[in-house]
Structure formats: C-alpha cells, structure tokens
Structure 1
Amino acid sequence: MKLASWNVNGLRSCVNKGFLEYVNQTAPDIICLQETKLQEGQINLEVGEDYRQYFNYAEKKGYAGTAVLSKISPRSVYYGMEENSEPEGRIITLEFDAYYLVTVYTPNAKRDLSRLPYRLEWEDRFRHYLLQLDAKKPVIICGDLNVAHQEIDLKNAKANRGNSGFTNEEREKMTMLLASGFTDTFRYLYPERAEAYSWWSNMPKVRERNVGWRIDYFLVSTRLRAAITDARIDAHVFGSDHCPVALTLSTDRIVPAHIP
C-alpha cells in the first residue's frame, strides 16, 4: 500500500504547479493534503474516478484545511477530535477494516510564540485522541506536524533553538507522542540520514542550498513497524514550500488486533 502526504500551501495554486503530475506519476493508494486553503465548491479536482475525495474546510476563508484522496473505500470518515467538526479544518480520520488513517495539520505556535500555549494544549488533546484510536486498531498518522523533532531534522539547529517549530516544549510533545506507542517511519529506517528536509523558507536560494526543516511526517503505531517497507521524502518535487513525503506498507503485515 502506497501512501503520500503533502502540505500543498494552497491546493488551487499547487494544481497549477505540478500536483496532478505528481499524483499520476506516483499513483498512491491514498494521498493526504494539508493547508488546502479552500472553501466548499472552490475546486473541481480531476484526479480520476478511482479516488474518493474528503475535505475538511476551515471556517476562515483561505486558511488551513485538510483533504484525503483515497482509492480504498473507508468504513467511516470523521472530522476533528472530540466532536465531528474542526473549525480550522485540521484533522480527518478515515477508518478502514484493519487500521485508522489520520491526516493532520498541526497549529503553528507563530513567530512570536503567541500561540504556543494553545499549541501545547492541542498536542495533549491530539495525543489522547490517537491513543483512543490505537486502543481499537493500529493508526497511521501523517501530515505537517510543524516541529523539527531532533537537531538532525533542520539545517541550523543552534540558530533556531527556541524558535517556533523548534522550541523545547514542542519537541517534548513530539517525544511524548512517540513514547506513547508511535514510530517516526523515516527515522526508523534512516536514523542518521542528515539534510533530509520537507520544508524550506521562500527566501531566495534557501531551497537551492537545502536550508530546510523536516516537519512533515508519517507516524505509525509501533506494532506496525514490521509493515514498513519504504519511507521517502520527495524533495525533488516542487509546487509548494513543502515537498511530499511517502510511505509504503506491506498490508499483509498490518495486524488489526491490539497487542500490548
């Protein structure tokens, strides 16, 4: 099973910059999108009849939002955490027979860290939500988590320490999430691979010089480790300030029952 995730930073814009070509070339079974910046009816996404399309729109126009395009028909689709709604359109959960798939666009703490308290509270609720799902079936989580977890995950760690996306508090929340029973698939396969980034500033020549951050992830319930066959960062793909990330799982190794 091939999965992909991409913060498209405006889906309508990305469609004009190679989005459909990427989908056609890689043909993922499921592709998850973040920061779609859409309202209902603003796009007719022609990706083929094989893909069922699910959108979670933010109430604020031109802001946030998520989407899932899936060739596999889910048993159910859920938007948000505590309630089946999400004012900023940040979460979609698809339930399949043997697993859950959650795509997420984690709130940014903002440059001045004014939204850090909200971000940390949101992280606790999100972790609790994932653990509730994980108690029923294994979970695949993907999206823009807005944090570089370790120093290896960004180019200039020393200079960025304490900045939004690399505060001790945000990094600790990621550590807590992984410790609660989830695995960072890319680091599981490539624990020491440096200069592997998924986001670059729009400042001149930053991406050209690969001065980036790895803030887009595929996480899985740790008991799915045996199913991981490939994890990839498609840094050669343009169209957004983020690039797609991809995961391949062996479906016959996905164990639906919870194993303590």
Structure 2
Amino acid sequence: MKKRYKFISWNVNGIRAVDKKEALKWVDDYNIDILGVQETKSQKDQIPNTIFNKEFSFKTASQSKIKGRSGTALFSDINTTFDCTCPSVDILDEGRINEVHFNLGEKNIAFFNVYFPNGQSSQERLEYKMEFYDRFLNHCENLKKDGKSIIVCGDVNTAHTEIDIARPKANENTSGFLKMERDWITKFLNHGYIDTFRLINGDLKDKYSWWSYRANARENNVGWRIDYFYVSEDLKDFVKDAYILDDIFGSDHCPIGLEIEI
C-alpha cells in the first residue's frame, strides 16, 4: 500500500533566533516526515531536541568550522541507513550538507539537505560556489550509478530563469542570477534531475522563496526563488505536490515543500 510523505525545507537564517521568535511552532501540526533547515548558524550541540513539541525520531546536523556561520540540520521520522556531512563536497568544512539514506517502497533514497555557497562577497567565493556545484553534481551522479534515487532540498543561492526573480534585468550581473550560475542549474537538470516546483506548477510567476530585508521587498513581493526540491527522474511519477509556504514568516526565506507517494 502506498504512503504519502511530506518533506519541508527552510533556510531559517539562524535557528536559535527563529526559535526565540516562536516561528517554528507551525512545524508541530504540519505532519512533516523530514524537515531540512539551512543556515542554522549554530554548532551541533546548540540545536536542542526540544526545539519542536513534535518529537522527530532522528536528528542530524552539520556545523561550520567558523562558529556562527552556515550550518544545516535535518529532522526525520523515517528510519535512516546512512548519515554523513559529505566532506568530499563541503571541502572547506563550512557545515553545508546533510546526506541521509533510507528506503521508501522499492526505492533506495539518498536525501540531501544543502546550503549552497553564496557568491556575492568576492570572485574567490563565486569560484568556490561553482566548484561546490560541480562537486555536488558529481557526487549525486556517483550515487545514481550505485542505484540510488536522489532527493535534494535546500538553498541553492541561484534563481534559475527570469520567472524565478522579480527583477531579472536589474540583477543579471549579480551573483545569484549570473549566466554561469543559471547555466549550472540547467546542466544539473539535464543530468536527469527535476525541479519539482516547476513540475507541479508549470510557469507560475511571482512565487519566490527569498526577499531582501531592505525596501519592504517581501511586502512588495520583490523576491527570488532560490530554494528548491529536486528529484532524480526515476522519482518523477511519485511527486504529488510541490509548493512555497510564503505565508510563514521568521526568516528572509520562507519554507518550501514536496510531497511524494510511494
């Protein structure tokens, strides 16, 4: 008998700050099977198991070697068979990845929760972002060769097409919407991965997941869609819904969701 699973991803921009705002309370009643959070800005031991009233059966986290930066955490009610922070991709040890494996039906899933680098601060960081992208793609491809199905959630820090950003022309020379960054997403998709939001919603416009804190950007919906759920092509027919929860506040990002039935 098939079961429906709900996955949520959210760049919280500081999990302790969001917790203090009580902006995580909605999680308790949302029947989430896996929650991936990015940019926790916390060490592993600073993320308490009691951050939600809901008790997830499994928690894992990554932390940056520089305290107060990056960081990811994954909370799950699905039994995992493998858990790592992907040092072959996150080579600078910035706390950017959770990788867990589990079985759903006949599928052996590799699930990634990723906070991809931002390239805006310098040319060096942009180059590292592109290197990180390629290392991640290579890692996913190797897992597919081993028979894994892939699910990726997280903050990719790039808007793919002009309908994924409110002001494309004004940002065409800004990291996050550079041609080389957008071309990488195209390359990733061409390797057999699916942007689930576009799969379900087609060319729906004016749906974003990040807004600057400046100039009332969120109130005016001047945003970017830079948070994604990707699945490998073999999971396409199992995708039942994909959405942006832009009515949930607490961060400069909003949560996004994916539901599959398998």
TM-score range (shorter-chain normalised) is over 0.9
The 3 A distance-change label for structure 1 pair 17 and 134 is farther
CA contact (8 A) 2:114 2:155 kept: yes
Query: Which residue is equivalent to 1:254?
Result: none
**Which of 117, 126, 135 pairs up with 1:116?**
126
- The alpha-carbon deviation at position 40 of structure 1 amounts to 3.0
Query: Which residue is equivalent to 2:137?
Result: 127
Query: Which residue is equivalent to 1:222?
Result: 233
**Which of 24, 28, 51 pairs up with 2:28?**
24
- The alpha-carbon deviation at position 234 of structure 1 amounts to 0.2
- The alpha-carbon deviation at position 50 of structure 1 amounts to 3.3
Instruction: Tell me the matched-pair count.
Output: 251
Q: Following the alignment from structure 2 to structure 1, what is the Cα–Cα distance between the partners of residues 39 and 90?
A: 19
CA contact (8 A) 1:94 1:102 kept: yes
Q: Following the alignment from structure 2 to structure 1, what is the Cα–Cα distance between the partners of residues 123 and 212?
A: 18
- The alpha-carbon deviation at position 53 of structure 1 amounts to 1.0
Taking structure 2 as the reference length, the TM-score comes to: 0.92
1:1-260 matches, within 5 Å, as 1-46=5-50, 47=52, 48-82=54-88, 87-97=93-103, 98-135=108-145, 136-251=147-262
Letter in 2 for 1:43: I
- The alpha-carbon deviation at position 85 of structure 1 amounts to 7.6
- The alpha-carbon deviation at position 160 of structure 1 amounts to 0.4
CA contact (8 A) 1:78 1:84 kept: no
- The alpha-carbon deviation at position 45 of structure 1 amounts to 3.6
CA contact (8 A) 1:33 1:66 kept: yes
The 3 A distance-change label for structure 1 pair 225 and 85 is same
- The alpha-carbon deviation at position 224 of structure 1 amounts to 0.7
Q: Following the alignment from structure 2 to structure 1, what is the Cα–Cα distance between the partners of residues 176 and 90?
A: 28
Q: Following the alignment from structure 2 to structure 1, what is the Cα–Cα distance between the partners of residues 23 and 8?
A: 12
Task: Structure 1 unaligned segments of length 5 or more: list them.
Answer: 252-260
Q: Following the alignment from structure 2 to structure 1, what is the Cα–Cα distance between the partners of residues 23 and 235?
A: 29
The 3 A distance-change label for structure 1 pair 84 and 194 is closer
- The alpha-carbon deviation at position 171 of structure 1 amounts to 0.5
Query: Which residue is equivalent to 1:255?
Result: none
Letter in 2 for 1:27: N
Task: Structure 2 unaligned segments of length 5 or more: list them.
Answer: none
Question: Cα RMSD between the aligned structures?
Answer: 1.6
The 3 A distance-change label for structure 1 pair 194 and 111 is farther
- The alpha-carbon deviation at position 190 of structure 1 amounts to 1.3
- The alpha-carbon deviation at position 120 of structure 1 amounts to 1.2
Secondary structure of the 1:149 match is: coil
CA contact (8 A) 1:10 1:36 kept: yes
